[in-house]
Structure 1
Amino acid sequence: MNWRVEVTSQARADIKAVLRYTLDRFGPNQVRYYRVAIDDSLKHLETDPVSVPAKPLTPPLPSIRQLPVRLRGRSGRHALIYRLDEVARVVIVLRLLHRAMDLGRHVEGEAGEDD
């Protein structure tokens, strides 16, 4: 049984910002590749949001998970940050963040919030 994926407004803004940066920096071809990679990662969350390579965000938020966006078979520089509502079988995508960032700092306070 599939999970429903909900993308918060902050995550949508993150996706737009990453794609805009990619377009400005690397051009339209790379934007297309990265858009597909993000979409594929979101689809993966529909089918199996708890499997590898998804992993908990530790510390300080073990209830928050991250899934690296894979581009051409390799982990990209960004990760989808999400939490699960296991009762309702809903994946709530909170952010799309660069993996070099302090991910916990950028999702503090979002562990139990809906958007």
Structure 2
Amino acid sequence: LIMPKRQTITLKSPLLHYSWRDYQHVSEKHLKYGVLGAQDKAKNNKKASIVYAFFRSITDFLQQYILRLGFLDGQRGLLMAVILSQYAFHKYAALWTMTDDISKQSGNH
């Protein structure tokens, strides 16, 4: 922790930060970041299969919903767990399509 050289103040009300506006916004954001994550992994010669993408989404869901106690947040916790599992699926499915030899040979079909 680095302490600032200037004087700090205490806020009179909570600082609220909303990372997304609505469901469409978070879905688009996670798809974008999933593809960027896949590009980063592809640059590092990582590969994935569609089966791996599927199972990774399941394990990410279970981690968020069960291990991180997302179920305690009710429907919002369930939604967040599903959204994070979709992100994992998008990332590894995108990585699979970027590195799959068959898709490269068939013109991305």
Both structures adopt the same fold (TM-score exceeding 0.5)? no
Q: 1 or 2, which has the higher strand percentage?
A: 1
TM-score norm. by structure 2 comes to 0.34
Report the structure number with the largest CA radius of gyration.
2
Report which structure shows greater RCO (CA 8 Å, sep ≥6): 2
Q: 1 or 2, which has the higher helix percentage?
A: 2
TM-score norm. by structure 1 comes to 0.32
